[in-house]
Amino acid sequence: MLQAALVSFFPLLMIYSAFSDLVSMTIPNKVSLALMAGFVVFAYWTGMSLETFAWHWALFAIVLVAAIVLFTTGHIGGGDAKLVATTVLWLGWEHSLSYLFLASLIGAALTILMIRLRGNVIPDRVEKIEWIARLYRADSGIPYGIALGAAAIVIYPETRWMEPVFNLALPGM
């Protein structure tokens, strides 16, 4: 049961965040709260040391402060700020730089794609679908939660959370 929960909980919240940002340009607070609560539960469940637990929360605080600064200066959205902080809470010091770098690369590709999309005329068949029409508008933001979620899903299998999953002994071995 632990293995199934570890394989599904974090990635499903990342997928939900990405799709929510795509269709509504928001990442709900409940996602960040669920990630924080889930981290506490899974840290206990997997026997994470108190020292490691504290270092994860220290990283969360540092990234949250930096993200709030970026939010207040208009560089990122509030949902993005909370999502990046709660994501590094899970990934820890070992994987956060890789995550942030990969999210930046995916975000750059997404931004280029959005700029190219916005240079086109919106097709009549999708003009009435509000969230798709919004993607074509130049005054609309970039749903960066897609990049944040995708990068997290790529990095997650390398984290300590997957050790109980990958260390499963096959019957008869």
Q: Round the average pLDDT of the chain to a whole number and report it.
A: 91
Q: Lowest mean pLDDT of 11-25, 34-48, 107-121, name the range.
A: 107-121
Model pLDDT, residue 125:
83
Residue 118 has pLDDT above 70, yes or no: yes
Extended beta strands in the chain, E state: none
Among residues 89, 105, 97, the alpha carbon closest in space to that of 160 is found at 89
pLDDT tens by residue, 4-30: 888 899 999 999 999 999 999 999 999
Distance CA 138, CA 128 (A): 17
Residue whose tokens read 């770098």: 101
Residue of 69 and 125 predicted with greater confidence = 69
pTM of model > 0.85: yes
Distance CA 13, CA 160 (A): 18
Model pLDDT, residue 168:
57
Q: Which whole number is the average pLDDT over 54-63?
A: 98
Model pLDDT, residue 1:
72
Model pLDDT, residue 172:
41
Of the pLDDT bands very low, low, confident and very high (cuts 50, 70, 90), residue 170 is very low
